[in-house]
Amino acid sequence: MVFDVGETLIRDDRGWAMWADWLDVPRHTVSALVGAVVAQGRDNADALRLIRPDIDIAAERAAMEAAGVGEELSEADLYPDVRPVLAALREKGLRVVIAGNQTAHVGQLLRELDLPVDEIATSGEWGVAKPDPRFFARVLDLVGTPPDETVYVGDHPANDIRPAKAAGLRVAHLRRGPWGHLWSGTAEAAGADWQIDSLHDLVRFAAT
C-alpha cells in the first residue's frame, strides 16, 4: 500500500504559514488563495504566484533554508490516524510505502519521524513528480507488487487518482484537505476504487 504525503499523512498548515510569513502577507490571505486555486483546479503553488507573479519558488525555498526558515516536520504535523494505521497495515503483512510530491528534504524529515513503513521516497529524490507516469512506474518498482495488487492512497484527483488508475493501480481517495473535500463526489474523484474519510478505513478493507 502506497501513501501520498500532503493532506494524506501530514497537514499542510505549517508549510503555507511559513510561506505567508516569508512573503510578508497575512496567513489568511495565503489560505484563501490556496482555496481559490484549488477550486479552479489549478496547481496550489499558483497561490504564491498570485501574491508575487515573478516568484521563482525553488529560489525562494533555497533562500528560506539559508535564512533558517526551511521546511520542518514534527509529530504534530501528522494526522492522528497515520501512525496507528501504518503500524496496523504492516502487522497484517502488507508492504507499506510513502511516495509523494515533496522535496528531498521532506523525505529526510519523514524518515526522521521513524514511521512504521518499509520505504519512503519523494519526487525531489526521484527527479520526477506526479502526475507523470514515470512517477508511478517508480512507485511500482519500489513496492515490488503488480499494479492491480497495489493501492495508492491520496487526496488529489489529478495527481493521485487519475494517473494511478492509468498506471493500473487501485486507488483510495481520501476525503480530507482542500482537494479531498472539494472534489469528493465529483466525476474527477469517481475513478477511485474506494472513497474513504479516514485511514482507519484501509485497515477494514485489508481485513476483507
pLDDT beyond 70 at 32: yes
Cell of 184: 469528493
Q: What is the pLDDT of residue 193?
A: 94
- Kindly list the structural domains of the chain, giving each domain's residue range(s) and its CATH number in brackets, ordered by start: 2-10+74-206 (3.40.50.1000), 13-66 (no CATH)
Q: What is the pLDDT of residue 207?
A: 63
pLDDT band of 142, cuts 50, 70, 90? very high
Instruction: Report the interhelical angle of 13-23 vs 57-66 (nearest 10°).
Output: 90
Q: What is the 3-state secondary structure (H, E, C) of 23-52?
A: HCCCHHHHHHHHHHHHHCCCCCCHHHHHHC
Cell of 200: 482507519
- Tell me if the pTM is above 0.75: yes
pLDDT beyond 70 at 138: yes
Question: How many residues in the chain?
Answer: 208
The single residue listed with the C-alpha cell 472513497 is 195
Type and span of the H or E element at 182: helix 177-182
Cell of 87: 503500524
Phi, psi of 101 (to 5 degrees): -80, 90
pLDDT beyond 90 at 69: no
Cell of 43: 496547481
User: In this structure, which amino acid lies at residue 157?
Assistant: P
The single residue listed with the C-alpha cell 521513524 is 114
User: In this structure, which amino acid lies at residue 26?
Assistant: P
